[in-house]
Structure 1
Amino acid sequence: MEAFAVPDVPEIEAGDDLADIVEERVDLRPDDVVVVASTVVSKAEGRTADLSEFPAGPRAREIASRLESATGDEKDPRFAQAVVEEGTELLMDAPFLLTETRFGHVTVNAGIDRSNVPGKELLLLPRRPGDSAERIHAGLAAAPPVVVADTCGRPFRHGQRGVAIGWAGMPASRDWRGETDREGHELEVTVQSVVDELAATANLIAGEGDGGTPIVVIRDWSFGDHEGSDELFREVEGDFVRQALREWHYDE
């Protein structure tokens, strides 16, 4: 397997065609996988904003005050308002904001970024990253699979890793259930989230900071002869961590 960054990607602006930008720079194959950072997808879709667009209501002011008490740092209630509006459920309001997005992704601050946003203060996640991936996939002549990736932290571990928030042209997971291990035992629970693993692979190449490259091609990787699944985000009924968080309160 090979992974390489798409070279010379320009600063992306609203209305840019990401599929055209990739095809101008790489001779794609049908079995490639194109991994696109959510930041450039958001920029192409005009998902930038200023704090002034989110006048703080009473709940946002209360959240900001609670965060200030918990962290000792001044918090802008307009940012809290943006997080509330971009999320569908606020799972934690201290010592940080943990939210569920409209498309089911659970992440800090509803995935809102405050860096690398020329001329604006906020970069919001794509509204429907699955649809975004479909549009890029349809715009590529070779029609390779496309993954829209973001970075986020994980419980019980330090650091961040790449994860998929949208995909097209391939299933989200390899479903190994019903297959056998090396000892002949039937696998009963193993479902491998390949879109997350491809996003993490791409993030190793893309990097972070001012040297980051936002689009990566993964070549000579195969899904294999497995059943596929598009289940990625847990339903609330089976998400016991989320259920526990609903009952948990931060003790200052």
Structure 2
Amino acid sequence: MEVIAVPGLPEIRPGDDLAALVADRIDLRPDDVVVVASTVVSKAAGRTASLSDFEPGERAREIADRITALTGEAKDPRFAQAVIEESEALVLDAPFLLAKTRFGHVTVNAGIDRSNVPEADLLLLPEDPGASAQALHEALDVPVIVSDTSGRPFRHGQRGVAVGWAGMPASRDWRGEADRDGRELGVTVQAVVDELAAASNLVAGEGGGGTPVTVIRDWSFGDHAGSDELFRDREADLVRQALEDWTYEDDS
């Protein structure tokens, strides 16, 4: 498998045709997978915002005050309001904001970014990354993954994850297949869109040196069943249930 960074992409601005910019810079093969950072999808869609766009309500002020007291770092209530407005629900509101987005992804601060956003304070996640991936897939005629970086429970650091995809299943389902000893697999479902997003992130990079689009080449889904289930619902997510049922005690 090869991961290729698409060279020479300009700073993306509202209204830019991402598919055309990619197609002009690399010759795609039918079995390629294109991985696009959510940041440039959001920029093309005009998903930038200013803190002044968000008038903090009582809940946002309470959350900001509590986080400030717990961490010793001032939390802007306008940012807390932005997270609330970009979320379907808050899984955790102290000592940081962990939110479920409207499309099912659970991430810190609802995925709102404050890096590499010229002329704005905030960059919001795409409203519907799946629809964005579908539009790019139809324009480029290859599978497309929209990726973001995210931390995970029990792990330090961040890695690439898929927040939208089109033209391929989210997972390879190994259930019913046999291991090398002939035992039938009963639970193994491999989240390939996440694995490809993570591989892409190694090449795409972070910070000021990032390249936001990569091409995965010479990778094959193989002869397996596919599944589009990626985001757990609350009933199947024991970590989320525990966090939502837990109240952070402020001993101050």
Q: TM-score, normalised by structure 1?
A: 0.98
Q: Which residue of 2 aligns with 1:192?
A: 190
The aligned residue for residue 91 of structure 1 is: 91
SS in 1 for 2:239: helix
Matched, 1:239 2:240: no
Give the equivalent residue in structure 1 for 2:36. Answer: 36
Q: d(CA) in 2 for partners of 1:206 and 1:46?
A: 22
RMSD of the alignment, in Å? 0.6
Q: Deviations over 1:26-62 (max 9, x none)?
A: 0001100000000000000110000011011111000
1:224 aligns with 2:249: no
- Residue 251 of structure 1 deviates from its aligned partner by 2.9
Could you list the runs of 4 or more consecutive aligned residues of structure 1 that deviate by over 6 angstroms after TM superposition? none
Contact 2:115-2:207 within 8 A present in 1 as well: no
| Whole-angstrom CA distance in 1 between matches of 2:234 and 2:96 | 21
**Which residue in the other structure is 2:205 paired with?**
207
How many angstroms apart in 2 are the aligned matches of 1:109 and 1:235?
Answer: 19
May I ask how many residue pairs the two structures share in their alignment?
250
Give CA deviations for 1:60-99 in whole Å, capped at 9, x if unaligned: 0001000101100111100000000001111111110000
Give distance in 1, aligned partners of 2:74 and 2:238: 33
In structure 1, the partner of 2:172 is 174
Name the SS of the counterpart of 2:156 in structure 1.
Answer: strand
SS at match of 1:88: strand
- Rounded Cα–Cα distance in structure 1 between residues aligned with 2:237 and 2:134: 27
Question: How is 1:85-164 mapped onto 2 (pairs within 5 angstroms)?
Answer: 85-140=85-140, 143-164=141-162
Question: What secondary structure does 1:66 align onto?
Answer: helix
Shift of 1:244: 1.0
Corresponding residue number in structure 1 for 2:75: 75
Please name the residue that 2:12 is paired with. 12
Q: Does 1:48 align with 2:28?
A: no
Separation in structure 1 between the aligned mates of residue 239 and residue 215 of structure 2, nearest angstrom: 34
Partners of 1:223 and 1:30 lie apart in 2 by 13
SS of corresponding position for 1:157: coil
> Aligned-pair distance for 1:245?
1.0
Q: For the residues of structure 2 that align with 1:70 and 1:83, how far apart are their CA atoms?
A: 19
Secondary structure of 1:26's partner?
A: coil
Structure 1 window deviating more from structure 2 (160-169 vs 238-247): it is: 238-247
Quote how far apart the aligned CAs of 1:227 are. Answer: 0.3
What CA distance in whole angstroms lies between the structure 1 residues aligned with 2:25 and 2:84?
39
Q: Residue 248 of structure 1 aligns with which residue? A: 246
Cα-to-partner distance string for 1:5-34 (whole Å, 9 max, x where unaligned) = 000010000111111011000000110000
Q: Post-superposition shift, 1:126?
A: 0.2
Q: Tell me, in whole angstroms, the C-alpha distance in 1 between the residues paired with 2:44 and 2:244.
A: 35
- Give the unaligned 5+ runs of structure 1: none
Letter in 1 for 2:105: H
Percent identity, aligned pairs only?
72
